[in-house]
Amino acid sequence: MSNSSLPRVQHIIGSGVVAVVGATVCYISYTQQPSEAFLFPRLIATVFVVLALWTFVKACLGWTKVGNGLSLTQFSNLAPGLIIALIYIFWAAKGLGFYTATSISFFILLSLYDPAPHRVLKSWVKRIITTVCFIAVMYGLFALLLKVYTPREIFF
Amino acid sequence: MEFIYYFGDVFTPINFGLLLLGTIGGLILGATPGLSPTMAVALLIPFTFQLEAAQGLILLGAAYTSTVAGGAVSAILLKIPGAPANIATTLDGHAMALKGEGAKALQLSFLSSAVGGVFGVLLLIFLTPVLAQWALAFGPSHLFWLAILGVTVIGSLDSASVVKGLLSGCIGLWLATIGFDDIMGAQRFIFHPSLGGGINIIAALIGLFAIPQVITMFAKGRKNDGTQAIQVQKHPIKSAFSELFRYKRAMGIGTITGSIIGLIPGVGGQIAGLVAYDQSKKFSPGKDKFGTGHPEGLIAAESANNAMVGPSLVPLLTLSIPGSPTAAVLLGGLLIHGIFPGTDLFDNHPDVAWTFINSMLIGQILMCIFGLYVAGMAARVAQVPQSVMAAIVLGLAVFGSYSVQASMGDVYVMASLGVMMYFLERFGFSAAPLVLGLILGPIAESNFIQGSMIATATDGLAPYFLTGALNLFLIVVVVLSVLYSGYMELRTRRYTSKEEIMG
């Protein structure tokens, strides 16, 4: 697939997803009971679905001018970080405890994206110190200052 | 002159301490590329829960003011605008720094920001009470149209594509309807138990502004930007003052342009800076020097982007219509304390309203004083690797959204909306109208329902919502804003394609 056709396919997929969501919202708004509760959503959903279909048709015809899509390089760059972040948010924060999960994910993200060379011991020491400082600040701010009791679970 | 009565409240130890904290913190956050003022204010909201309403607003207002000014530091020393409002600052500011005039550029930038900012806040002080009284004449149909106006203006003016901007606004309005209906108690669009209580605005704001930035930093990969801050030499502050006076025309143009643009909902600091820069260049005898490190360009841009801060809050404080994404975040900060803008704010909570507005006035002066000293430190912070910033912002976003109601559901909503927004942005959608839709949705719906009840008892739905001078005026403004943006979009495209053809 050529580079120029890549954004077009992406635009079709992206606007297609938005159109499906718009159509679902519209269907629910017009069919759910009590209908009085869906009076305002019906108004919104009608405009939503019209604009979404317009965007989708434009994408199919290749008339979309705005939005660069996502290149393969960008995707491969962001994928590991996004996966770590999603695991952290949707599982580890609750499963391991907020502070433990934050420490681990913070350190992994630093190691993944830090431009400093991996083979130099100083880089690793710097990353560990940064992680410890960050967690200390977060604990001070949220646990001690704001008194937010975060899930502690199996660890800390 | 009611505001003078509440001036002393700004100087209580806690309030003044928060003002200092917000100002210094905002300068440092503003200097950090990738941390926009809106995102900085959104991340700060959880820290205001335990504060009184006025104290929370002082912190948020100070952060807003000084992040806009702080963005000039990285624009001048690194050629990376700290915020979109500082794009025009880069043009002459960085060129001045390259010529060894970095300190002078920073001094001129903070001094002109303070002059523009003070003028803007004075406009806020004198316009707001008048407009708030005028807002009393608004009925449910007018408030409904005003809410729609807020979404359409930002949707059409703030986005590269009018249709996608309006569609983003529709998505926001739909998201606002998720949860239990207020009148019938019916469940609407609750696809997951986390959505039972509806979408929490603060969690949504954090997700929509912070998470796309985090993913953008991830997308840059493991590369060293190689940006090195230019070292600044000492420069006497006295000569910066005389230089500012010498270029008073540029400062006047910047201040007036920024103030006018700030009053228009949806037109942000980026436009204010660029328009002021352009106008100043047109009227300057030394127009050829613009772009080569001419102080006039820097002064016009910086006075404009700070002059728009105060006026951008006028529609918010009088009509509950946030004029910018940052104002929308500030509205969230007001609502969590149970305070509604408009007459309620000025009649029932004048201490909160005036202490907040006065603090913004004092904040402008503090921002100037500290800006001159903190600039060097802020430039060092601006060089923090993106990997560290991404991990810090992610951690703050998770803790911040959890602390809203101690609910994991809010964290899931924050993350889901954030990831969705990143991908939507890649396809030309915009976060600002989506946020405005989410915030103004409940206002639009409650007034629509109230209006329909009145309409059923009187003339019917169409005459109630579509007739009357004020209704018609608001409808015309909605239509004109969409048509104007559509016309400008077509014109820009035609111009761009002509340039491409001409090579």
Q: What are phi and psi of B329, to 5 degrees?
A: -65, -40
Residues 6 or more apart whose Cβ sits within 8 Å of residue A12: A56, A59, A60
Residues B126-182 pLDDT 10s: 888 777 777 667 788 888 888 888 788 777 766 678 888 889 989 999 999 998 887
- CA closest to A27 among chain B residues: B189
Would an 8 Å CB–CB cutoff place A15 in contact with chain B? Answer: yes
Q: How far apart are CA A2 and CA A66, in angstroms?
A: 19
Q: What DSSP designation does A97 have? A: -
Judge whether B409 and B418 are in contact, CB under 8 Å.
no
Report residue A24's pLDDT band, with 50, 70 and 90 as the boundaries. Answer: very high
Lowest-confidence pick of A16-20, B168-172, B365-369: B365-369
Residue range A133-146: mean pLDDT, rounded: 82
Q: How far apart are CA B186 and CA B200, in angstroms?
A: 18
Which tokens go with B124? Answer: 């806020």
- Helix B248-263 to helix B102-134 angle, to the nearest 10 degrees? 40
Work out the minimum CA distance from B349 to partner chain A, whole angstroms: 25
**Among candidates A108, A84, A88, which has minimal Cα distance to A97?**
A88
Distance, in Å, from the CA atom of B72 to the CA atom of B91, rounded to the nearest integer, reads 11
The full 3-state SS of B198-217, as one line of letters, equals: CCCHHHHHHHHHHHHHHHHH
- A114-123, B322-331, B374-383, B429-438, range with the lowest pLDDT: B374-383
How does pLDDT run across B179-212, given as a tens digit for each residue?
Answer: 888 777 788 888 887 787 788 888 888 888 889 8
Residues 95-124 (A) with a CB less than 8 A from some CB of B: 98, 102, 105-106, 109-110, 112-116
Q: What is the pTM of this model?
A: 0.80
What is the average pLDDT value for chain B, to the nearest integer? 81
Distances (CA, A) of B240 to B93, B96, B249: 14, 13, 16
Q: Do A89 and B427 touch (CB under 8 A)?
A: no
Question: Is B177 close to A55, i.e. CB distance below 8 A?
Answer: no
Q: What token pair was written down for B68?
A: 């806009």
Of A82, A94, A115, the CB nearest to B408: A94
User: Are B189 and A25 inside 8 Å of each other by CB?
Assistant: yes
For chain A, positions 50-69, list CB contacts with chain B under 8 A: 51-52, 54-55, 58, 64-69
Helix axes B386-405, A98-113, angle to 10 degrees: 160
Of B186, B219, B394, which is closest to A37 when you measure between CB atoms?
B186
Q: Of B160, B170, B449, which is closest to A44 when you measure between CB atoms?
A: B170
Residue A119 per-residue DSSP state: T
Residue with tokens 């005003």: B146
Mean pLDDT of the B101-119 span: 87
- pLDDT of B498 above 70: no
CA–CA separation, A127 vs A118, rounded Å?
11
Contact B282, B234 (CB under 8 A): no
pLDDT at B502: 45
Interface test with A, best of B159, B215, B218 (most A CBs within 10 A): B218
Tell if the CB–CB gap between B217 and A113 is shorter than 8 Å. Answer: yes
What ipTM was estimated for this complex?
0.90
Q: Where are the beta strands (DSSP E) in B142-291?
A: 179-180, 187-188
